[in-house]
Each structure stands twice: as structure tokens, then as C-alpha cells.
Structure 1
Amino acid sequence: MGCSVCLWLLISLGRVWGMGRGARETVLGTLGKATMLRIPPELQELTLRFGAAVWKRDTEDPQRKLVLLKYSDGNYTNYMQGRTRFHKLDFSLEILNTKRQDRQLYEYIVSKGPEEKVWQIQLEVYEPVSDPSIQILSWVLANGSCTVTLNCTAEQGDKVSYSWGSWDTSTLGLCSRNGSLLHLSYPLQNTSIPCTCTASNPVSSRVVAFNFSECSYEQGGSAELRTEHLVLMVAVPIAAVMVITGVFVAAYLAMPIASQEQEQEHLPLAEDNAVHTIYSQVQRVEKQKGVPAAEHPSCTTIYAAATGLPPDTVPAPGRAPRPPHSR
């Protein structure tokens, strides 16, 4: 008796748990895209038979649920108009633009008299993976073989995982690795080794290829080595050529300017040498009264000599001419 009662209690608890919690599935949603929440055919038949159902969603508060939609006898009320779309054909709910806050537990509940049938959907939201890129971290050339270390990364995506492989079956063993890093050693006789990196998460996958053609700076070496090599081999010669060209151009442009300056310096000198005006003052000896002058005095000014005028006609500089003496 006691064992049968315990068994009955366990079965009853299981039924209550099944009706209270319902079956659960996980749906993967892509960030920024539409996500469909579907119910199984069994619940679709129950909805058609009893004609009453509701979509709900959990919130941050465990004591509160958000009613998204109510269905009753062919009519429905969408409380999230613009965010969700209801499909009457199969009673599914479509989230139009999936956001991170939509990551919640959803419930579809069918009422059948005093009982309820519950279907639970856990929505997980992921950002899709962007195109990955491959970086060469290091390379070593030794003993006729090349050893390269590659790193594969994707800038966007949630919970991204990486794997290496090859589209060429002959090199599949060399490229097969899990993780973002690939350490590859191959003989120099191999002219081409194609490897691929796959970046994926639960909602998307992207592939990028890398071809090893030779063990050199172009295919090997870190990004810092390639940049330094480029600066030394390209930038420095270009800078030197530009400096030398600038010096020659400056010298060429300076030569006409210097010639013009010399011509301008000589031109005023030639003009200045053409005319020279000299002013000088010489003290004049006055004649004594009563003594007639037999001849002109021998005092000649420099101005008179320069102009060629007779001495008597040259006025003394800075002195007004004397009036005639009255007798």
C-alpha cells in the first residue's frame, strides 16, 4: 500500500510539473534579424479545438511576466505591435528585429477547460560573425623548411570559435587545427599550400583562405617586420631623392634672383657716377675803399669751376648779394 501511494504521488507530481513548466526548446536568434517562435502540431490542434491561447515572456523581475498576445476564437490582440507579428496559420510568433533584450524565456499556453498546456521556448541571441582576417605572427627559415605562425580573428560576433583546414585534400593534414592559432612547418619544395580559417558561432560562419607561396617577407614575418622592411626599402630612398631634388631646385631658383640683385646693385652706381654736385663756400675778400681793382681777384670757387661761370657772376652760397655802394 505504502509503495503504491508513493508511486501515485510521484506520477501526480510529474504531471503537475509537466503542465506547470511545459516542454522546453531552445531557439537561436540572430541580432538585427527576424526570429520565428513556433509551436508543435499538438498545440496547434489544441488551439483549434479549445480556441484560446496566449503568448507570454519572462522579464527581469521573476515575479512578473509580459503578455505579448492573446488569441480567442479566431481573433487576437497583439500587445507588441511593431515588434512582433502573429501568424494565424500555425499560431507562431515572429520577432521582427531581434535585440539582445529579447533573450528571454517565452511561453505559449493553451487553455483546455480547467487545465493548461504550456510550451516553453528559450531564445538565445547572437551577433553574427564578421569576415575573419589572418595575421602572420612569425616565420622562421631553417634546415630547408619554413615554420610559420598564423592568427585568425574576427572583429564581430558572439562566442566565436575558430578552426583551420584546407580545400586541397593533399594539404589537409598540414592545415587541420582547432583554435585561432596555426603553427605550420612545410618544406620549401612545396610551391603552394592553401589553408583556410573558419570563424563560426551558433548562427553564422565565415571562411577566409591563405596561400603559402614562399617563405619570405611577403608570406612570412610579423606585421612589424614587414612594416620596417617597407620603410627601409621604399620610404628612405624616396625621402633621399626628394631632399636632393629640393636642393637642386632651390639652387636653380636662387641663381636668377642673385643675378637680378647684382644688376640692381650696379645700376644705381652707374647713375650716381653720371652727375656729381659739389657745393662749397669760399670766403671772399672784400675790396678796399678807394683802391681801384686792376683785375678780378684770383679767388675762384669750386662751384664756379664746376659750372664754368665767371667768378663775379657766381653768388656766394648762403649769402644774399650786396647792394651797390653809394658815393
Structure 2
Amino acid sequence: MGSGTWLPLLFTLGALWGIGARETQLGILGEPTLLQIPREFQERTEEFGEASWKKTTEGSQKKTILLKISGRNTTEYEQERMRFHRGNFSLEILNTSRDDERLYEYSVSKGQEEELWQIQLQVFEPVADPNILILHRELSNGSCSLSLLCTSERGDEVSYSWESWDNGSGVICSGNGRVLNISYSLRNAGVRCICTAWNRVSSRNVAFDSSQCGSEQRGVPRVKTELLVPLVGLGVITIVIVAIVTYRATHSAKCYQVPSQVTQDGGTNATIYAQVQKPKGPVPNPTPVSSTTIYTTATGPPLATDGAPPSSAVSPTPRRHPQDTTTVYASVTLPVA
């Protein structure tokens, strides 16, 4: 028997045992996904009139019926998420999610026989627009050496490749992976490298212009943008702390100052401490003599109304500053009675 005879027989036996052909289909996260069946299954569905869509989990015996076809009647169980197309018996997932990544099964029944078509759905998140970052830059003897990093913020199983914009510098820009190391003369301003980020459902690219290499001089340190905000915040905090410490020190010094007593006429008071003591030796009179402390205030010369010392008609007195407070100690002994 030839191969043309064996293939239909194997297909029939597989259908009887519940084993059918399987294909892999890719779905995009957040977008519609259309599950289709081959033309042969469409013809058998029109002939037998009994079919169904089911979903299952790989390695699980549990199946969920999504749709049943019986003659011209159709029963849909997940209308809010699925849409059935009667023309080709396909099933459309309106908004593909991660949970939709599973095995789908379309079966056509004729009495005791059942033919299966299985679709393994794989869901991928598309890649976002990539960015090119400069990891290292060096200028030397009129040439530029760069280390470039290509990144995409979103996407499943993202791959990266590099190529030239106009194929004029294909050797320089050729490479695979996220990092590309290139070196070229600054006189060659036509070098433009393209980074492509791609996966099995999408592709995005971005270009790098070689003129960016000469924008900075060699050896000049650069402050990263992400470090500017912490540095500015640290400077503000330091200024606030210094201001608080200065204010508290000034306020404490003012609190410990003792103001001088000034008389009504503008002079400065001076306190004189006078002490009267008992005389030494025997005293004829047995009456005891007590010591007395006398407090008196000596007032300096008054100031004039304009803050200057008064002048004399006979001999002018040189201008003086108000006298400071002076303590005078005097001992006075009472006479013996």
C-alpha cells in the first residue's frame, strides 16, 4: 500500500481514538484572536451538522464547551468574550488575555465517529518602542568609541538586533543582542545604527545618530539625570539645618545678656557696696555694735537730650561715653561711744 492510502487510514484511526491534528497559533495580548479550522473540517461540519468548540488545559482531562452546532442551531456559552463566525465556523476571542493561553479543540461528530482539530494558543505581549542608551563614550585621536545599550520596556521573549540605516556601514553596526560596541572616525558623519526589538508577534526599531559622539569632550565627568534630584534635595536640607542652628545660637546669646540700668536722665548707674564693721579690741561700753551694709547707687553724668554730655561755659568738657557699671567696696567703722 502506498503512502496515499496510509495517510487517510491513520487520520481515521486518530479520530476514532480522540487524537487529531494540532497546530500552534500566536495571539497578541489585548487584541482579538481568530481561531480557524481547515477547509476539510468546514465541509464535514456542513455535511454532518454536529460540531463543537471546546477549551482545555494542557495535561488536564477537564474540558469546557464554548459553542455547540446542531444543524442550523448554534448555542454560544461565552458570548461576552467569544464571537462565532458561521461562514467558516471560526471562533474569535475579542480581547485576548493571559488566561486564554490554552488548548482549543474543534470536533465534528458523525454517529460514533469524531474528528478533532486542535489549536494550541500562545499569547505574547508586543514589544514597546525601544530606546538606545550610551553606556560608555571615549574620544581619542579623532575617533569615537561607543558602547550602546538597546532596551524595550515591555514585551515577551524580546530579541535585539543591530544593522546599518543605509547599508553603507553594515560592518560597523552589525550585531545581535542588546549591547553594540562600535568605533569610527569623527569625520565619518554618515554612521547611523538601527536597533530592532522584536518577538514572535511584533517588531519595533530606533536609530542612533553618530553625530552624538562629539557633543561632549573626553574626560569631562557627567552627572546622571537621575542623580540631580537627590543632590538638590540634599542641598536644601543642609541649608535648612544651618539656618535653624544659627537662629537658635543667636536666640540663646540674647537671652543671656544682662541689660544695664539706665537712669531717667540717661546716666549709667553704679552700685556701691559699703560695709560697717565692729571695731577691734575691748569696747568700754558693753552695748554691742552691729555691722550694717549700705547699698547706694552712684550715677554718672547725665547725657544731653541729643545723647552728648553737657557742655560748661567756663571750660568745655570733652565728649565721653556713658560710664559702665562699677562696684565700689568701702569699709566704714563706727566710732566708739
How many residue pairs end up in the alignment?
A: 278
Report the residue type matching 2:161 in the other structure.
S
1:16 corresponding residue in structure 2: 13
Q: In the aligned structure 1, how far is the partner of 2:154 from the partner of 2:164?
A: 23
2:43 corresponding residue in structure 1: 45
Q: In the aligned structure 2, how far is the partner of 1:200 from the partner of 1:230?
A: 28
Q: Is the 8 A contact 1:132 1:199 kept in 2?
A: yes
2:222 corresponding residue in structure 1: 226
Report the residue type matching 1:106 in the other structure.
Y
Deviation, structure 1 residue 225: 4.8
Q: In the aligned structure 1, how far is the partner of 2:40 from the partner of 2:67?
A: 20
Deviation, structure 1 residue 228: 5.7
- Give the share of equivalent positions with the same residue, in percent: 54
Structure-to-structure mapping, 1:230-249, within 5 angstroms: none
Instruction: Determine if the alignment matches structure 1 residue 90 to structure 2 residue 88.
Output: yes
Q: 1:132–1:225: structure 2 CA closer, same or farther, 3 Å change rule?
A: farther
Once the two structures are superposed, what CA deviation does each residue of 1:1-57 show, in whole Å capped at 9, x if it has no partner?
xxx9xxx99996664235532121111101111100011111111111111100011
Report the residue type matching 1:22 in the other structure.
G
Report the residue type matching 1:16 in the other structure.
L
Deviation, structure 1 residue 147: 1.2
Aligned-pair Cα RMSD in Å: 4.8
Q: TM-score, normalised by structure 1?
A: 0.64
Q: TM-score, normalised by structure 2?
A: 0.62
Q: In the aligned structure 1, how far is the partner of 2:218 from the partner of 2:35?
A: 49
Q: Looking at secondary structure, tell me which structure has more helix per residue.
A: 1
Structure 1: 5+ residue stretches without partners: 244-268, 270-327
Report the residue type matching 1:127 in the other structure.
E
Structure 2: 5+ residue stretches without partners: 240-261, 263-337
Q: Is the 8 A contact 2:139 2:217 kept in 1?
A: no
Q: In the aligned structure 2, how far is the partner of 1:45 from the partner of 1:10?
A: 19
Q: In the aligned structure 1, how far is the partner of 2:226 from the partner of 2:12?
A: 73
Q: Is the 8 A contact 2:27 2:121 kept in 1?
A: yes
Q: In the aligned structure 2, how far is the partner of 1:38 from the partner of 1:230?
A: 50
Deviation, structure 1 residue 215: 2.9
Q: Is the 8 A contact 1:106 1:121 kept in 2?
A: yes
Q: In the aligned structure 2, how far is the partner of 1:84 from the partner of 1:220?
A: 60
Once the two structures are superposed, what CA deviation does each residue of 1:259-289 show, in whole Å capped at 9, x if it has no partner?
xxxxxxxxxx9xxxxxxxxxxxxxxxxxxxx
1:58 corresponding residue in structure 2: 56
1:166 corresponding residue in structure 2: 164
Q: In the aligned structure 2, how far is the partner of 1:192 from the partner of 1:163?
A: 20
